[in-house]
Amino acid sequence: SVGMSQEVKEIEALAIRLAKQAGAIIREKSGRATEVDRKSSRTDLVTEVDKACENLIFSEVQAVFPHHRWLGEETFTVDQLEHLRNSSDSDWTWLVDPIDGTLNFVGGLPFASVSIAVARGHDVQVGVVYNPFVDELFHAQQGQGAYLNGRAISALPHETELEDAIVTLGFSTNPETRKLMLEAISKVGPHCRTVRALGSAALHISYVAAGRIGVFFEHGLKPWDIAAARLILEEAGGSVTQINGEPLPVTGGSILATNGGIVHNRMVELLS
């Protein structure tokens, strides 16, 4: 309906404004966080800037859309995750990663993003990924295509073979999944153009959408890591599944994100 599409437009405009606001803080504070704390382990960190950015986005969303639900990396509860799993079409949920690439941010490596997705039930309607270091904003609205700084993007060429593709991956903070990734890349590495691991899942997936790279894969991702960039990639004509080729639920898991076509199937074959 007209009312619904107007609402989605307002949601998208707010998501873009907040991604840029949080991004400005991330750019300013990169390499200069003062409170760097361990979460689950020595490799799993959070800073006062992750928390401040999530708070900023949360409070603005609450002010404008008080009935919308919230799922953010630094504040999530088991109940909120369970609610997303069981959510119905009348629920709107914001899925937010305030800094995707915290370890880069802590080290002052200028490669990180803000990821904001807004879902109706399990259906992601709006996705925004912003890299403040180069002022690149990727966004998509379901059914409306994908855009980088306002220009339409495409994950083409679909005819690319794995041999011509740059393959990227994420190295988890979890020792078990990191081992899985090392095993996986030893199978794929010999067959692709080259291998990169830059440290932000949301940016890698958005780069596949823009045709900059052919493949991204990682084990153990959460809803806020992938929801926004996944919509951007699907709207750009790419493919997203689990690593074994099965459908990827909104609740997350392993992800295989490619420019589509034969590269996707080849990756599934090599990794099975």
Please report, in range form, the residues annotated as the binding site. 73, 97, 99-100, 225
133 belongs to the binding site for ligand 2AM (CB under 6 A) = no
**Ranges within 66-85 binding ligand 2AM (CB under 6 A):** 73
> Under the rule (CB under 5 A), what is the footprint of Ca ion?
73, 97, 99-100, 102, 225
Q: Choose the one of ligand 2AM, Ca ion, none that binds residue 252, judging by a C-beta under 5 to 8 angstroms depending on kind.
A: none
Among 55, 154, 177, 251, interactor with ligand 2AM by CB under 6 A: 177
Q: At what angle do helices 261-271 and 175-188 cross, to 10 degrees?
A: 120
Question: Among residues 8 and 271, whose Cβ is nearest to ligand 2AM?
Answer: 271
225 belongs to the binding site for ligand 2AM (CB under 6 A) = yes
What x/- string results for residues 151 through 170 when contact with ligand 2AM is judged by CB under 6 A?
-------------------x
242 belongs to the binding site for ligand 2AM (CB under 6 A) = no
Among 30, 87, 102, 241, interactor with ligand 2AM by CB under 6 A: 102
Among 72, 127, 132, 220, interactor with ligand 2AM by CB under 6 A: 220
In terms of Cβ atoms closer than 10 Å to its own Cβ (0-12, 13-18, 19+), residue 149 is exposed
SS3 string, the chain, reads CHHHHHHHHHHHHHHHHHHHHHHHHHHHHCCCCCCEEECCCCCCEEEHHHHHHHHHHHHHHHHHCCCCEEEECCCCCHHHHHHHHCCCCCCEEEEEEEEECHHHHHHCCCCCEEEEEEEECCEEEEEEEEECCCCEEEEEECCCCEEECCEECCCCCCCCCHHHCEEEECCCCCHHHHHHHHHHHHHHHHHCCEEECCCCHHHHHHHHHCCCCCEEEEEEECHHHHHHHHHHHHHCCCEEECCCCCCCCCCCEEEEEECCHHHHHHHHHHHC
221 belongs to the binding site for ligand 2AM (CB under 6 A) = yes
47 belongs to the binding site for ligand 2AM (CB under 6 A) = no
Q: How far is the CB of 94 from ligand 2AM (least distance, A)?
A: 16
SS3 string, 71-98, reads EECCCCCHHHHHHHHCCCCCCEEEEEEE
208, 258 Cβ separation under 8 angstroms: yes
Q: Choose the one of Ca ion, ligand 2AM, none that binds residue 75, judging by a C-beta under 5 to 8 angstroms depending on kind.
A: none
Show binding-site residues for Mg(2+): 73, 97, 99-100, 225
Among 23, 72, 101, 223, interactor with ligand 2AM by CB under 6 A: 101
173 belongs to the binding site for ligand 2AM (CB under 6 A) = yes
Q: How far is the CB of 38 from ligand 2AM (least distance, A)?
A: 12
Q: How far is the CB of 97 from Ca ion (least distance, A)?
A: 4
Question: Among residues 221 and 233, whose Cβ is nearest to ligand 2AM?
Answer: 221
Q: Which residues of this protein are in contact with ligand 2AM, per CB under 6 A?
A: 44, 73, 97, 100-102, 170-174, 177, 199-201, 218, 220-221, 225
